[in-house]
Amino acid sequence: MLSALARPAGAALRRSFSTSAQNNAKVAVLGASGGIGQPLSLLLKNSPLVSRLTLYDIAHTPGVAADLSHIETRANVKGYLGPEQLPECLKGCDLVVIPAGVPRKPGMTRDDLFNTNATIVATLTAACAQHCPEAMICVIANPVNSTIPITSEVFKKHGVYNPSKIFGVTTLDVVRANTFVAELKGLDPARVNVPVIGGHAGKTIIPLISQCTPKVDFPQDQLTTLTGRIQEAGTEVVKAKAGAGSATLSMAYAGARFVFSLVDAINGKEGVVECSFVKSQETDCPYFSTPLLLGKKGIEKNLGIGKVSPFEEKMIADAIPELKASIKKGEEFVKNMK
């Protein structure tokens, strides 16, 4: 089922640069001046799918917007600065991407980011619930395992919750899995597709190598190493940047890929499949990432976990307690908000 629907990884991103279709997506980036926000905004500005790009942050957005506005593509770009300008930034948006928040530094876990980023996400999503309640919400801000439950609870509080339109962007895990498998097997990474399920931190990241297209096989020791590398790839970048940041460029690419897939689906393209961390009944976790068939209204169908190997089954079982704890933490945060 999945392999028939899944298209080659990254196809949406490349297609967005070459398509002649004149589409009119209105996209907002919240946290547009940051390490992910700037390259993400550049990729969105470069796409003919986007007609209006509104950029929000608490510093530097007029400069980022002025810089991007000189690019010879059709998207109209405008920058908004500070909380008082946020409502205007969101009005009429079809899709909001939220890379805002503090990045990981060496030695930091995604949980260390929780308190700062939880507040940021709760504030920004409350504004979305008020000013663009119908928009698709794509959350990049970590820890995604908690920030998606936060987003859902905030939308519930405002009485505009639609689980089909709230997405935790886990695409970077898929992009990494595709790249690392392709490197090991000498394949074109654009033609590799590895579904990655679960969550978006450490052992909750579960690459289903057994479902990879094209089919690949690894001896168990190599499979264990490869899986560990996919799970800890974020830390690999944090260490390599030696305190100067986290995965920003690859995350911007992955965020853009997800946005373009969603816009394609909104525009009526059929068979668009992406993995994402969403409200789910596929396991006894209330949120779980699986391949989703996207449609005009967001999630058209959850394609589920599918057939997994015993190795993958064990990873799923090991991930669930950690996922449940992260989800509960997000939900409790909103309950205790003043």
User: Domain with 61 in it: what CATH number?
Assistant: 3.40.50.720
* 224 and 141, same domain (yes or no): no
Q: Please report whether residue 8 resides in a domain.
A: no
Q: What single-letter DSSP state applies at residue 195?
A: -
What does the pLDDT read at residue 100?
96
Q: Structurally, how many domains does the chain consist of?
A: 2
**Annotated binding-site residue? 65:** no
57 annotated as a binding-site residue: yes
- Tell me if the bond preceding 207 is cis, omega within 30° of 0: no
114 and 50 belong to one structural domain: yes
Asked whether residue 164 falls in the same domain as residue 175, the answer is: no
250 is in an annotated binding site: no
- pLDDT for residue 109: 74
Check whether 14 is labelled as a binding-site residue: no
Pairing of strands 136-139, 166-168: parallel
Q: Residues 231, 194: one domain? A: yes
Q: Is 108 known as a binding-site position?
A: no
Residue 277 lies in a domain: yes
Q: Which positions of the chain have pLDDT values less than 70?
A: 1-22, 110
Let me know if residue 176 belongs to a domain. yes
Q: Are residues 235 and 115 in the same domain?
A: no
Instruction: Give the model's pLDDT for residue 110.
Output: 67
Among 169, 187, 219, identify where a domain stops.
Answer: 169
What is the per-residue pLDDT for 8?
43
233 within some domain: yes
The answer to whether residue 164 sits within a structural domain is: yes
The beta-strand segments (E) located in 133-209 are 136-139, 166-168, 196-198, 205-207
CA distance 86 to 124: 8
Three-class secondary structure of residue 248 per DSSP: coil
For residue 227, give the CATH number of its domain.
3.90.110.10
Between helices 11-18 and 249-266, what is the axis angle to 10°?
Answer: 70
Q: Which pTM value belongs to this model? A: 0.93
pLDDT of residue 107: 77
In the annotation, is 200 catalytic? yes
Asked if residue 322 and residue 196 are part of one domain, the reply reads yes
1 in a known ligand binding site: no
pLDDT number for residue 113:
82
Same domain as 323, residue 179: yes
pLDDT value of position 272: 98
Domain match, 165 and 178 both = no
- 197/309 same-domain check: yes
Question: Contact 211/304 with Cβ under 8 angstroms?
Answer: no
Q: Catalytic residue, from 70, 131, 158, 200: name it.
A: 200
Q: Is 215 found in the same domain as 73?
A: no
Tell me whether residue 101 is in a domain.
yes
Question: Is 3 within a domain?
Answer: no
pLDDT of residue 291: 98
Torsion, Cα 320 200 138 272, to 10 degrees, reads -90
Domain assignment of residue 16, yes or no: no
Range of the domain at 252: 171-327
Question: What is the spatial distance between Cα 34 and Cα 249, in angstroms, rounded to a whole number?
Answer: 11
199 has binding-site annotation: no
User: 105 and 162: one domain?
Assistant: yes
Instruction: Please tell me the predicted confidence (pLDDT) of residue 245.
Output: 87
Helices 144-157 and 114-131 sit at what angle, rounded to 10 degrees?
40
Q: Does residue 244 share a domain with residue 143?
A: no
Q: Which domain-ending residue is among 116, 138, 169?
A: 169
Task: Give the pLDDT confidence score for residue 3 in this predicted structure.
Answer: 40
Of 169, 200, 224, which residue constitutes the final position of a domain? 169
Question: Is 104 marked within a binding site?
Answer: yes
